[in-house]
Structure 1
Amino acid sequence: MVEAHRTSLVYALAPADVEAVCRITEHALGTVKRSSGESVRAIVDWNPDFAFMHVFHVCMEQLGMLPSYQDVRRYAHSDPLGKRMLGEPAKAKVRELVERGFSERQVRDAMRWRVGNAYYSFLREMYTVVQLRYSGIDVRVHPLADALFRVDAWVGRTAISLRVGNKKFRQGLGEGRKTPAEELLGAELPPFKFSTIELAPATRFGSVHLPSSQHLNAAVARISAQDPGHRN
């Protein structure tokens, strides 16, 4: 199913569209604190069978707009495909862990933390892609590239990765939860080039953590030098 997915709406978005969603979206983590959100190990790295980015991309294309967190929640609980991709698997995981002895509140908080952070990653990626495109870089994106190769976006043969430095999961190219694109694609011929936008950890709770203009300007300069022929 992910191979057949067609990504189109993101290419029609303007920076103001993404910024508006960042303003109106419900706080994706609710009132859940990190200590509670990461207290259930079985959910910290949980993924539905359909990768989160695939779910969010399908939701966006079906709704015809960049979704807020509340849009995603409604989609997962009321749309038949949304329920199959995310809503029902999440509920099943919660039931499984409650039956194993975890408190329902603890498990629900952990699931909110997991899904909420995944949504924020998606929103951050959409913001970055739209900003780079508006800077003249012909950036492309597809959930299959993320699911298989950890590539958040690409232009020509330059793979772009957006990361938030986190000593627990990853920093630079060290140990982390996700195998970096450099390791997955580093041996391919002709060779890929890699451009990483790495943000410092978020310092404010309750707001979307986005790359700064300095991050984006540096990325534009770096990508333009690597793939000078790919301008839109």
Structure 2
Amino acid sequence: MEQMQSLPAYQDFRRFADGSPLGREMLGIPAREKVSATVAEGCPLPLARDAMRWRVGNAYYSFLREIYTVVELRSQGVDLRVHPLADALFRVDAWVGSKALSLRVGNENFRKGRDEGRKVPTEKLLADVYPPLEFATLELSPATKFGRVHLPAAHHLESAAERLRT
């Protein structure tokens, strides 16, 4: 996105991952290596490729969802800040002042409104931060259509904007 100075279509993203030195280093080569390692462990090649394609597609859709949410909330007067490290290390998708926003899709296997599951909640990761943070979560219901980005509804964004402004 930084190189294009615009939001990439999925095809642009794939071309970057396969066709540029930086894209190959960041995603193309590691993805191929993981597929090869999975096949070496006994997984059929088509299944390993499909699984990687699924994970990469989910990551791309998550990126689009985060960008959309930040743009929409900023358009509603919320001066959100973002940084990839805040997301990667602390699961904070954006913040304003001392309020941290986490955007997620509900999933029984990962958490869905609970403090249990595979992922440690942001609130636990940052529990000892001083001064303390307030946490706002924007949780979407699971997606129902394959091949389409799953975005928060207008009323969810309005509610989140109100929580972040107060």
What TM-score do the two structures reach when normalised by structure 2? 0.96
> What does 1:158-173 align with in structure 2 at a 5 Å threshold?
158-173=99-114
Give the alignment partner of residue 65 of structure 2, picking from 121, 124, 137. 124
The unaligned stretches of length 5 or more in structure 2 are none
Worse-superposed segment, 198-207 or 105-114: 198-207
Superposed CA RMSD in Å reads 1.0
Q: What's the offset of the Cα at 1:101?
A: 2.0
Partner-residue secondary structure (3-state), 1:202: coil
Query: Are the counterparts in 2 of residues 197 and 219 from structure 1 also a CA contact under 8 Å?
Result: yes
Q: How many residues align?
A: 166
Tell me which of the two structures has the higher relative contact order, counting C-alpha pairs closer than 8 angstroms and 6 or more residues apart: 1
The whole-number CA distance in structure 1 between the counterparts of 2:48 and 2:37 is 10
* 8 Å Cα contact 1:141-1:154 kept in structure 2: yes
- Secondary structure (helix, strand or coil) at the match of 1:177 reads coil
CA distance in 2, matches of 1:102, 1:218: 44
Corresponding position of 2:138: 197
2:35·2:45 contact (CA, 8 Å) conserved in 1?
yes
User: TM-score of the superposition, structure 1-length normalised?
Assistant: 0.69
State the partner residue of 2:122.
181
Q: Partner letter of residue 204 of structure 1? A: K
Which whole-Å CA distance do the structure 2 matches of 1:204 and 1:162 have between them? 19
| Structure 2 partner of 1:154 | 95
Q: Any unmatched runs of 5+ in structure 1?
A: 1-59, 226-232
Structure 1 segments, 4+ long, off by >4 Å, are none
How much has 1:169 moved relative to structure 2? 1.2
Letter in 2 for 1:140: R
**Partner deviation per Cα, 1:112-142 (whole Å, 9 max, x = no partner):** 1111111111110000000001111110111
- The correspondence for 1:70, drawn from 11, 15, 32, is 11
- The equivalent residue for 2:154 is 213
